[in-house]
Amino acid sequence: MNVKRIFCIGKNYADHVAELAHLGHTPDGECVVFMKPASCIVPVGEPIVLPRNVGSTHHEAELVVLLTGGDRDVAVEDALDCVAGITLGLDLTLRDLQTQLKNKGKPWELAKAFDCAAPLGEFQPYLQQDLQALSFTCHVNGSLRQSGNTAHMLYSVARQISILSQTWALQPGDAIYTGTPAGVGPLVPGDQVVLEGPGLGRYAWTCT
């Protein structure tokens, strides 16, 4: 199944919300919903072309779920029936630009929806494993940058699906980037990024 729409959940791990507080990103306990076009996807094996002259590009390692559909008004208790697959991805973010946009109350697309903004691993079948007990890491050039566990999400995957279904009729091929834990940081040309997690796979990209 190809990804047709990418939904992203922001501010979903308290430790990440806290690490951005100094940029004026206020913790309010509510998640943020935004989208990226599917054209942002960078499959494994293709280079991540970093934007130039727009400040820092940060890696945000995230669990990504692929949906079978679900339509509207999915109840939280039924939501995981909509999950087809799971993997890891990067919600790449132009952090300096995002901070400027946030502080001006402007939309985030310029900072979140640029070409190559959504490196994506290969979906593994969802086998009813506990989606709130998955650990994953992000290494850059062999150094550990992010280490997260979905147990620490503020909004569970089921809750995210239910929330999205209040606004969109969920379709096969919808994917959700479910938020990032602490440890986000800049990428520069030449960096090698590796995402890895038990049951989720291991995926590497090179930045240019």
> In the bound complex, what is the minimum distance in angstroms from residue 180's beta carbon to Zn ion?
4
Residue closer to Zn ion by CB (options 91, 174) is 91
> In the bound complex, what is the minimum distance in angstroms from residue 128's beta carbon to Zn ion?
26
Residue closer to Zn ion by CB (options 10, 70) is 10
Which residues of the shown chain bind Zn ion in the complex (CB under 5 A)? 60, 91, 180
Residue closer to Zn ion by CB (options 70, 181) is 181
Three-state SS annotation for the chain: CCCCEEEEEECCEHHHHHHCHHHCCCCCCCCEEEEEEHHHEEECCCCECCCCCCCCEEECEEEEEEECCCECCCCHHHHHHHEEEEEEEECCEEHHHHHHHHHCCCCCHHHHCCCCCEEECCCEECCCCCCCCCEEEEEECCEEEEEEEHHHECCCHHHHHHHHHCCCCECCCEEEECCCCCCCEEECCCCEEEEEECCCEEEEEEEC
Residue 193, number of CB atoms within 10 A of its CB = 21
> In the bound complex, what is the minimum distance in angstroms from residue 33's beta carbon to Zn ion?
11
> In the bound complex, what is the minimum distance in angstroms from residue 47's beta carbon to Zn ion?
21
d(CA 39, CA 114): 9
> In the bound complex, what is the minimum distance in angstroms from residue 16's beta carbon to Zn ion?
8
> In the bound complex, what is the minimum distance in angstroms from residue 104's beta carbon to Zn ion?
20
Residue number of the CB atom closest to Zn ion:
91
Residue closer to Zn ion by CB (options 137, 180) is 180
Residue closer to Zn ion by CB (options 73, 115) is 115
Residue closer to Zn ion by CB (options 60, 174) is 60
